C-alpha cells in the first residue's frame, strides 16, 4: 500500500510540474520593407544595371534576434544564393532597420531578393521582392 501511495504521489508531482511549465509559442520576428524616396519596398520593374536600396525593418517578438540572411534567385529558379549573412550585434537583437544596396544585373530577367531573419530560438521570418529587370 505504501508503494502505491509513493507511486501516485510521484506521478501527480510529475503531472503538476509538466503542466506548470511555460510553453514557448515560437513567435517569429516581424519584418517589413520601409517605403520612401529611393527605396524599393515591393515587386517592381527597374532598368538594367541600376543600383537599388531595400530598407528592412525587423522587430523582436519573443526571442532575441540572431541573424539576417540576404539571398537572391535569378529568373524564377528555385535555387537561392546567399549574398550576405549578418550575425546581429547585441544592439540589434531587440530590433533594427538595415539599408541594403544592390546593383541589378546588366541583363533582362527577374531577380528575387530574399531577406530572412532568425531569432535565438530558431524562429524564422522571410520577406522578399521580385524585381523585373528591363
Helix (H) or strand (E) holding 133: strand 124-133
3-state DSSP helix/strand/coil % of the chain, to nearest 5: 15, 50, 40
Residue 33 within a domain:
yes
pLDDT by 10s per residue, the chain, length 134: 556 445 445 555 555 555 556 677 889 999 999 999 999 999 999 999 999 999 999 999 999 999 999 999 999 888 999 999 999 999 999 999 999 999 999 999 999 999 999 999 999 999 999 999 99
Three-state secondary-structure class, residue 68: strand
CA of 133: how far to CAs of 76, 97, 107, 112, in Å?
A: 12, 26, 7, 10
User: Are residues 131 and 33 in contact, defined by beta-carbon separation less than 8 angstroms?
Assistant: no
40-60 per-position pLDDT tens digit: 999 999 999 999 999 999 999
Report the pLDDT value the prediction gives residue 5, as an integer from 0 to 100.
47
Report the pLDDT value the prediction gives residue 105, as an integer from 0 to 100.
96
How many domains is the chain built from? 1
Residue 14 within a domain:
no
Residue 54 within a domain:
yes
Question: CATH no. for residue 113?
Answer: 2.60.40.2550
Domain encompassing residue 92: 27-133
Residue 119 within a domain:
yes
Residue 120 within a domain:
yes
Amino acid at each position: 500500500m505504501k508503494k502505491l501511495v509513493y507511486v501516485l504521489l510521484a506521478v501527480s508531482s510529475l503531472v503538476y510540474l509538466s503542466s506548470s511549465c511555460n510553453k514557448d509559442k515560437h513567435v517569429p520576428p516581424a519584418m517589413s520593407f520601409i517605403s520612401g524616396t529611393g527605396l524599393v519596398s515591393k515587386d517592381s520593374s527597374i532598368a538594367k544595371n541600376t543600383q537599388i536600396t531595400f530598407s528592412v525593418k525587423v522587430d523582436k517578438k519573443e526571442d532575441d534576434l540572431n541573424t539576417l540572411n540576404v539571398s537572391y534567385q535569378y529568373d524564377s529558379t528555385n535555387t537561392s544564393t546567399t549574398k550576405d549573412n549578418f550575425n546581429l550585434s547585441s544592439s540589434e537583437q531587440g530590433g533594427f532597420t538595415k539599408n541594403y544596396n544592390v546593383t541589378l544585373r546588366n541583363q533582362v530577367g527577374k531577380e528575387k531578393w530574399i531577406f530572412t531573419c532568425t531569432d535565438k530560438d530558431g524562429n524564422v521570418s522571410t520577406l522578399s521582392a521580385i524585381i523585373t529587370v528591363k
